[in-house]
Amino acid sequence: MKTWKVLSLLAISSFAFWQCQPSATKTEEPLPKLGNWHVEDSGDTVYHQIAQFEFVNQVGKTVTNADVEGKVYVADFFFTTCPTICPIMKKEMLRVYDAYQDNPNFKILSHSIDPTYDTQEVLKDYAEKLGIEDANTWNFLTGEPQKIYEIGQTSYLTTAMEDQNEPGGFLHSGAFVLVDQEGHIRGVYDGTKEDQVTRLINDIPKILK
C-alpha cells in the first residue's frame, strides 16, 4: 500500500475516532478546525483550508470555491455505479438535504470519483432519481479525475482514488466532511451510519450563522 494512501486512511480514521468520542459535558462546545495548522511569525494561526477547485455540476454549471465562499457545506465522494456504500451514503445525505435545503447559506458538494462515466448528463439523471430537481443546494460534481482524487486526498483528507482491486474499480471512504465559511474542515462523519449523520445535522447550526 502506498504511503500517501496509508496516511489518508489514518487521517480519516483519526477523525472518525474523534467524532465517536462521548462528550464530556452537556454544554455545546465549538467545533474544532481539523487538519494541519501552524503559527506564523506574526503570531497568527493558519489552519488547513480546502484548495482552489473547479468542477462541473449536474446542470452544466462550473462550480468553484467562489460558490461556497461564506457558506457552510458538506462534501463527499461517490460514483453512480458504486455497488457498495454509495446508496447508503446518498440515503443519509438526503436527510441532510431535507434539513437544510431551504437555507441559502448551506450547500452539498458530492464529487464523482468516476468522472469518465459520470458525465454531467449521467449526474443529472442520478440526481433526479434521488428527487433533486435543481442544483441550488446539492451539487453533483464531475471533472478531471486527478483533480478530484487530489482534492479528496489532500484537501478533504479522505480516500478517493481508482483501484481495480476494489468493487466497482474505485476506493473511497464514506466520510461526510463539514466545511465552514472560510474553507476549514470542522467535522468528519461516517455517512453510512445514521447516528453519525444525525450528529452532523445537529452540528451544522453551530457554524451556520
Tell me the average pLDDT of the chain: 85
Which cell goes with 55? Answer: 468542477
Confidence of residue 168 (pLDDT cuts 50, 70, 90): low
Residue 177, pLDDT > 70, answer yes
206 vs 190: CA distance, rounded Å = 19
Does the pLDDT value for residue 17 go beyond 50? Answer: no
Q: What is the pTM of this model?
A: 0.83
pLDDT at 75: 97
Name the band, by pLDDT with cuts 50, 70 and 90, for residue 159.
confident
User: Once rounded to an integer, what is the mean pLDDT over residues 90-100?
Assistant: 98
Predicted local distance difference test score (pLDDT) of residue 170:
62
Confidence of residue 166 (pLDDT cuts 50, 70, 90): low
- pLDDT for 163 equals 57
pLDDT digits (tens, 9 = 90+) for 22-60: 443 344 688 999 988 777 667 778 889 999 999 999 999
Instruction: Report the alpha-carbon distance of residue 45 to residue 176 in Å, rounded.
Output: 25
DSSP 155: I
Res 117 pLDDT > 80: yes
> Does residue 11 surpass a pLDDT of 70?
no
